[in-house]
Amino acid sequence: MPNKKLRAFTLAEMLVTLALTSILIMFSYTGVSYIQKLLYEFNEASSFLNNMNEVSMRLQSLFEESEFIEESEDGKYIFYLDSSQSVVNIHEDLMQVNRFNKVEDFPFMISNRRCEYEIIDNNITNKRIVKCLEFDVYFKKQKFHLIFCKNYDAKTKLKLAFDHGSN
């Protein structure tokens, strides 16, 4: 039998192929890790924005539907609706919305809370009702400034002055 030479890859060729393959795998792993990090940050931002929109819509709805708004304690606002009450607690790291006996927590970083009041004077006592509420909500390095206002008509002011004076 004739001596046939077997054709195969040399050891050097195999080592070069192995090195190039490992470099490609390393770059692809780095890329996948970076994409996972971006996806996590996107989900976190999306969740925050969904919560922010939900809170904003609820507070706007409460300001529009309520007869009047009272601040009972520092950061506790009571919204008097026709036959019920809703309560919103605003703290530095949490906002709680209690509407129809359903409490929901929104973990926000809140600062610079300011409140404007409408003074109802009935010659017996002064009653302060909330006219505007504004505060800043922070997410990472972004700041969102929220403002909610309630315009009281003369009928509501007279009713509040009369009701409070009769008590």
Per-residue pLDDT of 92-104, as tens digits, reads 999 999 988 899 9
**Distant-in-sequence, close-in-space partners of 79: CB < 8 Å, separation ≥ 6:** 62, 63, 65, 66, 69, 85, 86, 87, 88
As given in the structure block, the two tokens for residue 132 are 């505007």
List, for residues 132-155, the tens digit of each pLDDT value. Answer: 999 999 998 899 999 999 998 888
pTM recorded for the entire structure:
0.74
**Element containing residue 153 per DSSP (H, E):** none
CB 96 within 8 A of CB 105: yes
Residue 145 CB-half CA count within 13 A: 2
* Whether pLDDT at 165 is above 60: no
Reply yes or no on whether the pLDDT at 161 is more than 80.
no
Query: Which pLDDT score, from 0 to 100, does residue 167 have?
Result: 44
